Amino acid sequence: MNDATTMQAPQVSSFVLIRTLGLIALVSGLLVVLVFEWTKPAIEQNKREMIERAVFQVVPGATQRRDFVVTANGIARTGDGITVYAAYDDDNKLRGIAAEAAAQGYQDVIRLLYGYNPECQCITGIRVLKLSETPGLGDKIITDADFVANFNALDASVNASMSALANAIVTVKHGRKQNPWEIDAISGATISSKAVGKALNDSAQQLLPLLVPHIKELTVAGDGA
């Protein structure tokens, strides 16, 4: 029988393990918070710049913007409601409104900004802010010239009672567009095309009946803001 003493590794108590893991989790969480707070101003600034560029793209002739909030009681500069971007030219003339919209696409939610001209009561352009659709198919909502042309003057008139759109914005099968409130879908990217139509319709149905009765307030704001 061997009398050599068997060497055993020292036992680490459960308390020490828990304390170590807790310390690691605390430090990791602190680093995440610090990185978030450090990058937050840059992220917000990038978002503001992206929105501003998009506003000028979807509202032709605009060179400056002012942000407003639309509520059931009217238009204000701050508060709870639907954020809109009023776009003006160099002479402070209101050229249109921009607002955000979103709907579920094939892969993920499609987020976009659209322009609205109160003179023609029509949508004057869209700019995709977030897209995760299939390359070569769903992303055609950005690259397909015929599809983009749908939004040169897409009808978004409000009915006489100011309760909803006179005609819902709908996406129709490619080649079947007959009315100015219809969107001609992209062949092979119907889901993404319909998502754009749904996003615009949902947003416009909610926003425009509240906005249109107070549109003159934004015209005055251009003179004095």
Number of domains making up the chain = 1
Question: Can you give the pLDDT at residue 27?
Answer: 85
Judge whether 4 lies within some domain.
no
Judge whether 13 lies within some domain.
no
Question: Can you give the pLDDT at residue 11?
Answer: 62
Structural domain of residue 191, as residue ranges? 46-224
Question: Can you give the pLDDT at residue 108?
Answer: 83
Judge whether 32 lies within some domain.
no
| Eight-class DSSP state of 111 | E
Judge whether 204 lies within some domain.
yes
Question: Can you give the pLDDT at residue 173?
Answer: 94
Judge whether 9 lies within some domain.
no
For each of the chain's 225 residues, which pLDDT tens digit applies? 555 555 555 566 777 778 888 888 888 888 887 776 676 555 566 566 667 788 999 999 999 999 999 999 899 998 899 999 999 999 999 999 999 999 998 878 999 999 999 999 999 999 999 876 555 556 788 889 999 999 999 999 999 999 999 999 999 999 999 999 999 999 888 889 999 999 999 999 999 999 999 999 998 776 654
Judge whether 28 lies within some domain.
no
pTM for the whole thing?
0.76
Judge whether 125 lies within some domain.
yes
Reported for 210-213, long-range contacts at CB under 8 A and 24+ positions apart, including other chains, are 210/70, 210/71, 210/72, 210/82, 211/70, 211/75, 211/84, 211/97, 212/118, 212/121, 212/158, 212/162, 213/162
Question: Can you give the pLDDT at residue 34?
Answer: 76
Judge whether 133 lies within some domain.
yes
